[in-house]
Amino acid sequence: MLLGVDVGGTFTDAALLDGDRLTTAKSPSTPSDQSEGVVAAVESVLERAGARAGDVERFVHGMTVGTNALLEGKVARTALFATEGFTDLEELGRQARAELYRLCAAHPPPLVPPELRVPVPERNGPEGVLRELDEAELESKLDRLPEDVESAAVCLLWGFRHPEHERRVAEHLSGHDRNVHVSTSHETVGVFREYERCATTIVDAALSPLLRRYLERLSSRARDAGLPQPDVMLSGGGAAAAGVAARHGSWTVLSGPAGGAVGGARLAERAGSPDAVCLDMGGTSCDVSVSRAGRVRETGGREVGGRALALPMVDVHTVGAGGGSIAWRDAGGALRVGPRSAGADPGPACYRRGGEEPTVTDANLLLGYLDAASPLAGGVELDAGAAERAVGELGRELGLSLQEAAAGIVRVASTEMARAVRVMTVERGVDPRRLALLAFGGAGPLHAAAIAEELDMRLVLVPPSSGVLSAVGLIAAEPRRDLVESVLLTGDRLSRDAAAEVVGRLAERGAKELGRSEQDVRATYDLRYAGQAFELSIAGDARPEPDDLRRAFDAAHEERYGYSDPDAELELVTVRVAVAARAPELPARLAAEAERVGSRPAVFGSERVEAAVVRGVPDALDGPAIVELAESTLAVPPGWHCATAADGTLVMERRG
């Protein structure tokens, strides 16, 4: 049996795969200690499956511990050890404004305060040592380090190429009689660009003690329950043992969204649409990623909460539009939705848990997409009266009727998500009309058709397990180790043998760390025209021909920026290698049979119509209709036709 558990802002989802049988369950998230919600979800899914904890062979966990700590600033007290003269790298950043036209907008404050920035007496250049490390002076600086420091980040100039000084600083830190976590830049990230490398190492050091404590609690709870020790979903889309994740907290910042992105890409390919936009709308936020040829698009770095992370990650764009997003009137009198959320506690007004503000879920209930007589997944019963009071109060502020206010909330939320899809497609040179929209999460299928219409997309895919697809994606996650090395090769130095030597060295290291007998090695090359500031990632062979890289890069540059320069000198900046074991196979069919349970009034556009209601996965139907799945609900507007693929995925097409 394979177990996946994903922690969301509102619910914790569990999926248990036993051969061809998939069992799922939801439990309310417990923000104060996510491991409590994880255990509750596991107990629920095991009870539903009639299974014992000892039957579980592999347990993969996706979480938001690191993300939440980074966004809230609740991190370990961290010191920075940097080359003399370069201790302020994190605060200086790139000297770019947070927002170009808002002079009052600021970057988040540095995680390391000035008094904890320690200048290290040493210096390396590109060719090696320029000034030897003065270990006696370093020791005197360590003696003056405050006792409350929990963690240390070590980032020295050219440490990614010449790591010896970083190793010796780490040894001195470990030799002191204090329990300080140490993150070195060459182990954490290993790429050039001092600011991004320094900022990433600091985030790693600041998050790792918190993550270690959380994973120790979770591992203890798993052991007591008879479960295997958990693997953890990493930001790049692969899974690693909890011990590896605990040592490098920065590797897990996108652990939660990565599971949905991986699962969405796998199921889009199985449904016959390997090129798809994957839209995961949960209770708190909406994550958008793009799948090409059945594999989620990845990036070599991005910002999370305004902080640079130069790490392999799934390429996900997140907006604050979820089922629990709160609707409000801004100072100009406009209707807005999010980013503030009602979360798991108290939740939307209709959850009967003390929430009084109107949310997207309240609006969906009033429009007829949800049924007050049918509890949501997780046993949440809905109160239409509470939703009416909350949405009605906002409607009076806006001068709208109850129906107009509810429809406006849903439309604003859908527009915000459509904007996120444009960021991931149109702004990257990709035409969304040529892609399918795969919608999942508890609320994604409710808004899928509206988002597709906004973007002129004609095909929507909804997996039968869409409400817990992130947990299913964890089951399908491959054990993987991602390694990177900046090489900066141009001209004659950019050769097949030079690239192959780096790939081989990284692959050997990854294979040893992964410890699996059967492994797949994938290489990606970050390339740019000489003189450019940033790169594009090109997939290639383990022994790539420079001419093949040139053609692929020119084509990618043309697609992204509208032009290419075949005569410009090509520079190989960074080599990225993923060493992965084989991912588990998902069952051929994930769906249950459907039954028609009648009809109910629902609002589509500005009209209230009678919509057919089907529970389960129907063979085919025409809108207007409501399809109630196990953990989510699909709204099929008039003019849309819905059929079922061989694996149980609902395929919805717009006609006319």
- What's the topology of domain 480-580? Dna Ligase; domain 1 (3.30.1490)
3-state secondary structure of 511: helix
| Mean pLDDT of all residues in 119-140 | 95
pLDDT at 167: 96
> pLDDT by residue (tens digit) across 139-159?
999 999 999 999 999 999 999
SS3 letters for 37-48? HHHHHHHHHHHH
Residues recorded for the chain: 656
Write down the pLDDT at residue 559. Answer: 87
Task: Provide the β-strand partners of residue 577.
Answer: 483, 523
Whole-number mean pLDDT of the chain? 91
CA-CA-CA-CA torsion sign (233, 237, 239, 245) = negative
Residue 409's pLDDT band, with cuts at 50, 70 and 90, is: very high
Instruction: Please state the rounded mean pLDDT for residues 81-93.
Output: 95
pLDDT attached to residue 329: 94
Evaluate if residue 514 carries a pLDDT over 90.
no
- In the sheet with 2-7, reading across from the earlier edge strand, the strands are 21-28, 11-18, 2-7, 58-62, 231-233, 239-241
Look up residue 366 and give its amino acid.
Answer: L
- Packing angle of the helix pair 34-49, 194-225 (nearest 10 deg): 50
Q: Quote the CA–CA distance of 8 and 256 in Å, as a whole number.
A: 7
Distance of alpha carbon 300 from alpha carbon 313, whole angstroms: 6
Write the pLDDT tens digit of every residue in 179-198: 899 999 999 998 999 999 99
Reported as a pLDDT band with limits 50, 70 and 90, residue 27 is confident
Highest-pLDDT range among 174-178, 263-267, 373-377, 514-518: 263-267
Three-class DSSP category at 207: helix
pLDDT tens per residue across span 290-300: 998 888 888 88
Numbered ranges of CATH 3.30.1490 in the chain? 480-580
pLDDT given at position 517 = 64
pLDDT of 339 higher than 90: no
What is the location of CATH 3.30.420.40 in the chain? 272-462+626-656
- 3-class secondary structure per residue, 337-385: EEEEECCCCCCCHHHCCCCCCCEHHHHHHHCCCCCCCCCECCCECCCHH
d(CA 392, CA 379): 26
If you average pLDDT over residues 361-370, what whole number do you get?
94
Q: Which CATH superfamily is domain 272-462+626-656 in?
A: ATPase, nucleotide binding domain (3.30.420.40)
Is 592's pLDDT higher than 60?
no
Contact criterion met (CB below 8 Å) for 372 and 380: no
Residue with token string 């909350």: 390
pLDDT reported for residue 8: 81
Q: How far apart are CA 159 and CA 191, in angstroms?
A: 9
CA dihedral 174, 178, 180, 186 (to 10 degrees): -10
Per-residue pLDDT averaged across 395-413, rounded? 95
Q: Is the pLDDT of residue 344 over 60?
A: yes
Burial class (CB in 10 A: 0-12, 13-18, 19+), 256: buried
What are the tokens at 266? 């796998």
**Is the pLDDT confidence value at 590 over 80?**
no
Q: Is 78 helix (H, G, I), strand (E, B) or coil?
A: strand
pLDDT band for position 381 (cuts 50, 70, 90): confident
